Amino acid sequence: MYVVPDQTGKTVVVTGANSGTGKEAARRLSAAGARVVMAVRTPAKGEQAREELLAENPRALLEVRRVDLADLTSVREFAEGILARGPLDLLVNNAGVMAPPTRMTTADGFELQFGSNYLGPFALTLRLLPALLAAPAPRVTTMSSGTANYGRIHFDDLQWERRRYSANLSYAQSKLADLIFTRQLAAIAAERGWKLLSDAAHPGFTRTNLQSAGASLGRDKPKRSLLNSLSILPSQGVEPGTEPLLHAATSPDATPGVYYGPGGRFGLVGPTAVVRVTRRALDPAVNARLWAESERLTGVSLPAPARTA
C-alpha cells in the first residue's frame, strides 16, 4: 500500500470528499497530518463522513465546506472562503458525476457532465490560484478516467445541444477535458515560472457509488451505468483505487503533466504506474483553445503575467 508522505502543516482541499475516492483521499491525507477541507455538495453527507473518519482517527484535522461544482456562484463563494485562510498546498479535483441517462444542465446552463466534471473544477482551480501560489510547493491533482481515451472535444457542440446526447460519450469528453486541463496548467506553470505542479490520475475500475449515482439521476430506481455494468471486467475496492490519486497528489517523484493510474490488467486494477496520455490531449493548439473557451464560458481567467523590466 502506498504510504502518504508526512503532510503535517499542509492545507488540502479535496472535492467530493464524502464518499468513494474522495473520502479515502481525505482519510489518508489527514492521517498523514494534513488539514483537510472536505469540499462537498451536501454538507450533511460531508459531516457524516467526517464523523466516520474522526471515529477512526480522533486527531484528524477535518473541516466540511460546501461547494457545488455545477454552480459557478457556489464555486466563487467557496473559493473566497478558502482564499481568506491563507496558502493552499494541494487541491484535489476529485468530485464528478457519471453518465446521467438524459441530458441535464447545471445552474449556469452547461451540460451536467461537462459543467460538473470540467468547467466547475476549472473555475475552482483558477479562483484558488492565489492561495496555491502562496504555498511553497503547491500541487493540483485532477481525477480523469480511462474513458478519456475515446473522448472527443466537440468545439462546435460542447454542451450536447445539437447532437443526440450520449451519456457515455459526454462523460468521456468531460474526462478528456480534465486531462487537457492538467497538461495545459502544467505548461502555463512552466511558462510563468510557477512552482505549481499539475498532474492527473485515474482510478481504473474502482467500485464506488459513482457508477450508480449518476446513472440514477432522474430515475425512480437506482441503475448502474453501462460503463460499469460488465461484471466480467476486473475491478478493485476504494483503497487501492485511490492510490494513483494519492501518488499524484503527494509523491515526491510525481512529475508535471504526467498521468497516473493502475498498471495491472487492462489498466483497470493494480499498482500505480505512469499511464499513457491519449494523443488527443497532446495537441498544444487544441489545449490552448479549450482553455480559452473555458475562460469564456466560466468568466474566470488567469491573472495577467507579471511584467519584466
SS3 11: strand
Cα separation, 177 vs 142, in Å, equals 11
Catalytic entry in 118, 150, 165, 171: 171
Q: Where are the alpha helices (DSSP H) in the chain?
A: 20-31, 43-56, 72-83, 112-114, 120-133, 167-192, 210-213, 238-241, 243-250, 284-298
* Phi, psi (rounded to 5 degrees) for 246: -65, -40
Q: What is each CA distance from 157 to 58, 163, 290, in whole angstroms?
A: 49, 8, 12
CB 27 within 8 A of CB 50: no
- Whether residue 259 lies in the annotated active site: no
State the Cα–Cα distance between residues 109 and 190, nearest whole angstrom: 33
Contacts 24+ apart (CB under 8 A), 220-228: 223/101, 225/98, 225/99, 225/167, 225/168, 226/99, 226/167, 226/168, 227/98, 227/99, 227/147, 227/168, 227/171
- How far is the first Cα of the chain from the last one, in angstroms, to the nearest whole number? 50
SS3 113: helix
Instruction: Look up residue 123 and give its three cell numbers.
Output: 473555475
Non-local CB neighbours of 46 within 8 Å, separated by 6+ positions: 17, 18, 38, 40, 64, 65, 66
Can you state the percent helix, strand and coil of the chain, rounding each to 5? 40, 15, 45
Backbone angles phi, psi at 93, to 5 degrees: -85, 85
Residues tagged active-site: 171
